[in-house]
Chain A
Amino acid sequence: MSDEEKTSILILDDEAIVLKRLRPALEKAGYEVETFVRSSDASSRITERQFDIVITDLKMEGLDGMQFLTQVKERFPKTEVIVITGFATMDTVKESFQKGVLDFLAKPFKLGEILETVKKAETKIKQADDS
């Protein structure tokens, strides 16, 4: 990722209202954002291109968030994954971190909290690129 390129973010959440809230906030903060309501569509998209950051919900119909983030990490280990969920449990937290996610945010959260986490992911990517 060069300094000139925008950091790319894929967001997957089966609730359109969540995407409607996150997308403009992240775009306003200078990120390139693609959003998906269906995990199958997000799954196809990652076969076409790599994203710097993936934000995914866990509980979804069909391919769930845990399976999706596994695909992402297998295909692009350097992509930083942030989990957002409305049904958090100790097991899902543990499994997420075992699969290499950067952070886990339980809903509800304020936009400031997710922006802070995205910033953290961006810094980590930048440091990995520089080293």
Chain B
Amino acid sequence: MRILVAVDQNPYSAHTVGEVAKLAANTWANVSLLGVQSKRVPKNEGSDAKTRSWKTDGPLPNVLSAYRDNFLSYFKEEDCPYTEREFGYKMIELRKGLWEELYVCKSAKKNFRALIRIGNPVKEILAEAKEEETDLIVLGCDTSQGCSWENNMAVPQKVANDAACSVLVAKKEKKVERIVCCLDHDRVSQQSLEMINQLVTLHSAKLTIVGFAESEGIKTRVEKKLDNVLRYYHERDIEPWIEIAELSSLDTFIAQEAQWGLMALWMGKMSILEKALPKSKVKKLIKGSESSVLILR
């Protein structure tokens, strides 16, 4: 699994890094910690050109270093897949038939990178995710400011809407006791079920699977299809609670259920929820939800 953690300099990002460290300790995921140096000048800093310049010892690199140390502190040294400890000579094949003994640092079992990109945060986060074939983007947000990032930018909402992969917007207020997972019974991807499984395992959380029927008449058909999902979980010793809701009451349903710690929505291409939830509604949901929100793709 490849996880991209997008961070800024606010405390919610520190919390998010901690949450990802717990997930990484279970999964040994390859993790990239990404800070984006925005070209936009904060209003309170004036338009002095110096504020635009990039410094390797500036606040963002410093905070990124602190996040890196915090992330690695979740691992016992002997169990950490991200640290490189052994130096020595090793025969390396330079090209077919030519080997050279080189002094190398044996690579860590998994990759952990801390990097900074310069530009528009949303564009840079999405570009990094695409280049690295990320499976999951994770971001925190300031809930007191309506889930915004620095400079009041709606970065989490935009990333959640436009990413090609799954996106988790982590909110620190709620402990994840139950994961409410709204699935499209017809087309849910294997990758999405796997992502849910890892999070259920991580949080030892209860799982509620919700299917949506477009009308009362097709409830039975949806129930039948959700049986397959139920069987999938039974075979894996997970006993989810199954619910069926009407698509017409989607907004109310999500608002009610978004209190359990984690709301997951399967929004892959051609899914019911992709059609029923336009970008503006997803933004509103992420902004207003007390729970963390996971957009599955």
Q: A28 CB to closest chain B CB, in angstroms?
A: 17
Stretch at the interface among B21-29, B33-41, B248-256: B21-29
Q: How far is the CA of A88 from the CA of B199 in the complex (A)?
A: 10
Q: How far is the CA of A110 from the CA of B109 in the complex (A)?
A: 18
In the complex, what residues of B have CB within 8 A of residue A18's CB? 190
Does A112 contact B197, Cβ atoms closer than 8 Å? Answer: no
What total of chain A residues lie within 8 Å of the partner, measured CB to CB?
25
Q: Does A68 sit at the interface, judged by CB under 8 A?
A: no
Does A86 contact B194, Cβ atoms closer than 8 Å? Answer: yes
In the complex, what residues of B have CB within 8 A of residue A17's CB? 190
Interface code B74-97, partner A: CB below 8 Å = 1, 0 otherwise?
000001000000000001000000
Which residues in window 47-100 of B have CB below 8 A to A?
Answer: 79, 91
Does B26 contact A93, Cβ atoms closer than 8 Å? Answer: yes
Does B2 contact A90, Cβ atoms closer than 8 Å? Answer: no
Which residues in window 191-213 of B have CB below 8 A to A?
Answer: 191-195, 197-198, 201
Picked from A87, A103, A108, A110, the residue with its CB within 8 Å of the CB of B201 is: A87
Q: Does A61 sit at the interface, judged by CB under 8 A?
A: yes
Q: Does B135 sit at the interface, judged by CB under 8 A?
A: yes
Interface code B130-156, partner A: CB below 8 Å = 1, 0 otherwise?
000101000000000000000000000
Which residues in window 1-30 of B have CB below 8 A to A?
Answer: 1-2, 25-30
Given A61-B235, A87-B236, A94-B79 in contact, is the A108-B195 Cβ separation under 8 Å? yes
Interface code A97-124, partner B: CB below 8 Å = 1, 0 otherwise?
0000001111111101100000000000
Q: How far is the CA of A8 from the CA of B42 in the complex (A)?
A: 57
In the complex, what residues of A have CB within 8 A of residue B79's CB? 90, 94
Q: How far is the CA of A94 from the CA of B191 in the complex (A)?
A: 24
What residue in chain B is nearest A97 (Cβ atoms)?
B109
Given A17-B190, A61-B235 in contact, is the A106-B198 Cβ separation under 8 Å? yes
Does B135 contact A108, Cβ atoms closer than 8 Å? Answer: yes
Does A106 contact B1, Cβ atoms closer than 8 Å? Answer: yes
In the complex, what residues of A have CB within 8 A of residue B237's CB? 59
In the complex, what residues of B have CB within 8 A of residue A106's CB? 1, 26-29, 198
In the complex, what residues of B have CB within 8 A of residue A104's CB? 28
In the complex, what residues of B have CB within 8 A of residue A14's CB? 235
Q: Does A15 sit at the interface, judged by CB under 8 A?
A: yes
Q: How far is the CA of A110 from the CA of B189 in the complex (A)?
A: 13
In the complex, what residues of A have CB within 8 A of residue B190's CB? 15, 17-18, 21, 108
Does B2 contact A113, Cβ atoms closer than 8 Å? Answer: yes
Interface code A1-40, partner B: CB below 8 Å = 1, 0 otherwise?
0000000000000110110010000000000000000000
Q: Does A127 sit at the interface, judged by CB under 8 A?
A: yes
Which residues in window 57-100 of A have CB below 8 A to B?
Answer: 59, 61, 86-90, 93-94
Q: How far is the CA of A86 from the CA of B197 in the complex (A)?
A: 6
Picked from B26, B135, B193, the residue with its CB within 8 Å of the CB of A89 is: B26
Q: A40 CB to closest chain B CB, in angstroms?
A: 16
Picked from A88, A103, A108, A109, the residue with its CB within 8 Å of the CB of B109 is: A103
Q: B161 CB to closest chain A CB, in angstroms?
A: 21
Report which B residues bind A (CB closer than 8 A). 1-2, 25-30, 79, 91, 109, 133, 135, 190-195, 197-198, 201, 235-237
With A59-B237, A89-B26 already in contact, 20 other A-B pairs whose C-beta atoms are closer than 8 Å = A86-B193, A87-B198, A87-B201, A88-B26, A89-B201, A90-B79, A93-B26, A93-B27, A106-B26, A106-B29, A107-B197, A107-B198, A108-B1, A108-B135, A108-B191, A108-B192, A108-B195, A110-B133, A113-B2, A113-B133
